[in-house]
A and B are shown apart, each in its own frame.
Chain A
Amino acid sequence: DAGVIQSPRHEVTEMGQEVTLRCKPISGHDYLFWYRQTMMRGLELLIYFNNNVPIDDSGMPEDRFSAKMPNASFSTLKIQPSEPRDSAVYFCASKGNRGSEKLFFGSGTQLSVL
């Protein structure tokens, strides 16, 4: 298995632009998580899905952030409009069903908003 695949690896954009981050979970995994990592706040859970349905989006910082999972093999995290304080590493992770609690992380997207 190729593991969790994220794209792009690096994104540099200007304030006000729309940013879309992409994730392909491990095939057969039922859960998908989006995290954001900064030096100050560590790894923060933004939102997670179970069977493509958003379960908890309480970590999404503002309405500028949105996430979708149109099918079991693809998810997006969108920031519109982007701001410099959104600069961080964004990780996607997936796991199997209950009883299989280990999370597998993608390589992350390093986002810089200028």
Chain B
Amino acid sequence: GQNIDQPTEMTATEGAIVQINCTYQTSGFNGLFWYQQHAGEAPTFLSYNVLDGLEEKGRFSSFLSRSKGYSYLLLKELQMKDSASYLCAVFDTDKLIFGTGTRLQVFP
């Protein structure tokens, strides 16, 4: 079966650092994605990890451990505009399977 788990909600303060965890169990694995989705909008691509380790892109970093079925998204220097849902997704063969998402609220 397929199972992707991430926390439902998180809160943080502007300027802080937040880490959103994701664990997965899928029958196949061709990579892990993080997408950002603002309310009422489509998901937009943030990061893609296919090998173990950390990928850094500006204020956002994503980590993958394939042996542990674990990933996290790290957001630094939080801004109000980072308030959104963050979706962890696993590429299983040819299809992208999403977790239910983590809703992040950033407070001033």
Q: Interface of A with B (CB < 8 Å)?
A: 31, 33, 35, 41-45, 48, 50, 55-56, 91, 93, 98, 101-108
Q: Which of A55, A91, A102, A105 contacts B48 (CB 8 A)?
A: A102
- The reply to whether B43 and A105 form a contact with Cβ atoms under 8 Å apart is yes
Known: A31-B94, A43-B87. A101 touches B31 (CB 8 A): yes
Count, chain B residues at interface, CB 8 A: 20
Q: Which of B31, B42, B99 contacts A91 (CB 8 A)?
A: B42
Q: How many whole Å from B93's CB to the nearest CB in chain A? A: 9
Q: How many whole Å from A14's CB to the nearest CB in chain B? A: 24
Say if the beta carbon of B97 comes within 8 Å of chain A: yes
Known: A101-B30, A105-B43, A106-B42. A55 touches B96 (CB 8 A): no
- The reply to whether A105 and B94 form a contact with Cβ atoms under 8 Å apart is no
| 21 intermolecular pairs with C-beta atoms under 8 Å apart | A31-B94, A33-B95, A33-B96, A41-B100, A42-B98, A42-B99, A42-B100, A43-B98, A45-B96, A45-B97, A50-B94, A91-B43, A101-B31, A101-B91, A101-B96, A103-B33, A103-B45, A103-B96, A104-B45, A106-B42, A108-B42
- The reply to whether A45 and B99 form a contact with Cβ atoms under 8 Å apart is no
User: Residues of A contacting B48 with CB < 8 Å?
Assistant: 101-102
Known: A102-B45, A105-B42, A105-B44. A42 touches B101 (CB 8 A): yes
Closest to A50 in B: B94
User: Residues of B contacting A106 with CB < 8 Å?
Assistant: 42
